Each structure stands twice: as C-alpha cells, then as structure tokens.
Structure 1
Amino acid sequence: MVSQSVEITGKVESKSNVENIHVINKTSKIFTITDNTGVFNITGKLYDTIVFSSIQHQQKEVILSQEIILSKAIFVTLEEQINELDEVMVGKILSGDLLYDIKNTEGELPINFYDVGIPGYTGKIATQSERRLSEASNFRPSVNGNSMGAGGSVSILPLINAITGRTKMLKDRVKKERNADLLRRIKGALSEDFFSVYKLEDSLKNDFFFFCEDDINFNFRCQNKSNVEILEFLKEKFLQYNQNLNVNKD
C-alpha cells in the first residue's frame, strides 16, 4: 500500500562532494546522511517531504510521489551553492586567528626550529585554561629547572593545588570550555536543519542548546560523532525540553 512507510534507497548527484549531505524526512522527522558515493536509505510514505541540505549545495525539497514509493528509489541532482561577492577586495583579509593568518600570508617564512635542527612542538596549541591545569597538576621533581638528581627537592605545589581544590576547579573550567566549543560547532553545522524539522520559537533556541550542553552525557554523545548521531541526541533532548516547557506552563 502506498500509504504505508517503505524504505527508500536514494542517490544524490552533484558536481561537488556528495558525502555527508543531510537527508531529512520533515514529515516523519527522520534523519540520515549520504555515503561517499551519494547513496542513502530513508523511510517514508506517500507525500512525505524529503529535504536535502549541505553547505556546498542549494537546499532542495522532494515530495514522495506514488512512483517513488512503488519503485522505492529516488535520484536527486543538487546544484552547487554559489556565494557571490558584493565587492572585490585587493589584498589579504585577516581572520583574527593569528596562526591561520600567519600561515596564509604571502612572503618568506621566518626561520624556525627545523632550520637550525632544534626539536619543537607541533601539536595542538593548548588554551590558557589547559596550560594552567597542566602547571597545577604536573608533579615534576626539579632543581633549578632540571630533573631532580640526588639531593634534589620535590615541588609540593601540585599537592597544595589538589588539597585546596584549584586543580578540580581548573579541570571543570577546561571541560566547560571544550563543551562550549563543541556546542558552537554543533549550532553552526546542524541548527538550521534541526529546526527545519523540530519547530521552536527563536527566543528559545539558545536556551534549548544550553539545555543540551547541561546534559551529563553531552560530550560523550556528541564529541567525534557523526551528524546523524548528534541529531538523534538533539531529538531526544528536544522531547525532554518540550516536556519541561509544558510542565512550567501548567
């Protein structure tokens, strides 16, 4: 029966990358994404609205017709998103990110530690809170900046920090900063698609995201997870958030 939900196999084609395109059944509120070849699977029934969305493409909506339901197949071509510039700027525009701007500045690079054979750190730059936490909790015996030898002394600052609670305070601060950064990335990548399905007043959207961040499992459910997994988490929190709103109204 065409009125029943069926699993539909689809394929997205485009001149741009077709991987990780959001495929949303707005009617039944189901999410999925395309694989690296543009293929996806989603359930739907007659007259459901399927939305295709990505940063690289213009958003497109397809209403499931009887032909699509019977064939259980759908093929969609997406147009590239073209961002036209209002004016032409000559020269480099600084982003405010020092490391990024230095990397993208033309000209000869200054001498670095590789040029003179000195080992240097090439990992992720720590935040101020992360540096303070490392200093507060790193138990390193030392004498005048060198590793402790015979007769050396041991710094008791890490012990004092642990006793006074400063280390715990810094750990909490680092955790909050990392969660805030993760939340900003989620809002930027998924907010528009999520609220196209789950309607919420604009004045409540930020409050909803803070409600998600307060969840004890926020980082576990969202850090290094796929968009589909994050959208499922947001869906669960949305239902809880609405229940809270209704209780408060009563």
Structure 2
Amino acid sequence: MSKKVLCVLVAVLSQSMWSQSDERIVLSGKIVSEANDLEGVYVINAQTEETITTNDEGSFSIKAKAGETLVFSSIRFREKRILLTAENFTDLNFTVKLGLVMYQLQEVVVKSYNNINAANLGIVPAGQRTYTPAERKLKTATALDPSANAENMMAGGSISADPLLNFFSGRTAMLKKEVKVEKKEYFMRLLEKMFTLDHFVNRLSIPKEYVKGFEYYAVDNDKFTIILDSKNRTTTEFLLGELAVKYKQILAVENK
C-alpha cells in the first residue's frame, strides 16, 4: 500500500514540475550597442510569434520559457538570435549586445539580352525619359520652344513666351505642387497595397482613426519612400515600425 502511495506522489510531483517548467513567464532584459538610439528594436519569440519593441533605454519584457528563441531585429542592427536557458530568467541584468549594420554596396550583375529593348526596336526614341501625367504637364508648361522666331521679341534669343507667362501667372508653381501630390498618392497606394489596416491597428498599435494620418506622416519621410519604392517588405516593415513609435509619441504630446 505504501509503495502505491509513493508512486502516486512521485507522479504528481513530476507532473507539477513539468507543468511549471513548461509555463511561460515574463523575461525582462535590455539591449546594448554602440548606438545611442535603442528604441523600436523588434524582440520576437520565434515559437509564439509574440512581438514587442524596446523602449528608449533599450529595455524590453516578453513572455517566454527556457528552450525558446528570441529574435532581435531592426533596420539599424544585425539580427541576433538567443536560445534561452533557465539562467536567463534569474539574471537580473540580462543584456543582449547588438552590432550595427554597415551598409555596403553589393555586387551588381547586369544580364544582357542581346540588346532587345523598345529603343533598339524603334518603338520609342533612344534615351527618352518617361513622365507621369503631372510631370508631363509641368514639362510642357516650362519647356522653351526653340522653333519660335524673332517676332516673339524675347531678349536673348528665339524662345516661346509660354514658360514666362506660366511662371508669372502661378501655373508653374501649381503644376509643381501637382507633381508632389501625385508622388504622395503613388506612395500611399503602394503602402496600402503592402500593408492592411489590421497591420497598422493591431501590429503597430496605431488607433484606427489615426491610421490615414500616419500613412501621410510616413510618406512624407524621404528615407522611408526610397525603401518603400524598392518594394522590400521586410526592410519597409522595420522602418515603418520605427516611424510608428515616433508618430505615437507625437499623438501622446498632442492629446495631453
């Protein structure tokens, strides 16, 4: 009888110890680097896919357990993976050192396809630049007409008076604004095609009523639009996360 009781106790204790070791708890730590800006680094539990970002001091807290892997990633730092051990959860000064990304030009390989292109086929003139509708209007309004003759009475040579008239009437300035608006609309469409509303609200924690404002805030950033135009989703998402942190700080100040 005593042996049976002992076996039951051993089984209960073993199950209790196993369940405790399997339970996820909050792990707090801090990233360190040569860079001063440690905010907005992604910390991802590779097993549960829970994702958080570091604060301005590089600190973070995330649920995990021994045996799981944390991924640290940012556009500014090289990605790092840490396999968690039991000691990490008792370490009061758990730190992860991240190395800065050094951007270098990669080798460019140009493939030749026997010079088959629209210019060589005579479809379009060689070296011709393509214009958007707004750019074409601006080009037309500001281009000098070399075919104009001396009867135009323009000093300095034979040119058309249209560019000067457009300039003084304000049409040129209006068309330049139209080109800027057209570019912003292009980037807005590209951004909304790449990321859903759910991504902005649930992943970046942008209030739904402020999502459109955040999109305009993002496409106003020249660095972001260059990366967005490259259509590299991973790099774009990282930079978008950094902009989201700054945008929410602006909202916090405005809503005080």
TM-score norm. by structure 2 comes to: 0.46
Q: TM-score, normalised by structure 1?
A: 0.47
Larger radius of gyration: 2
The structure that is helix-richer by fraction is 2
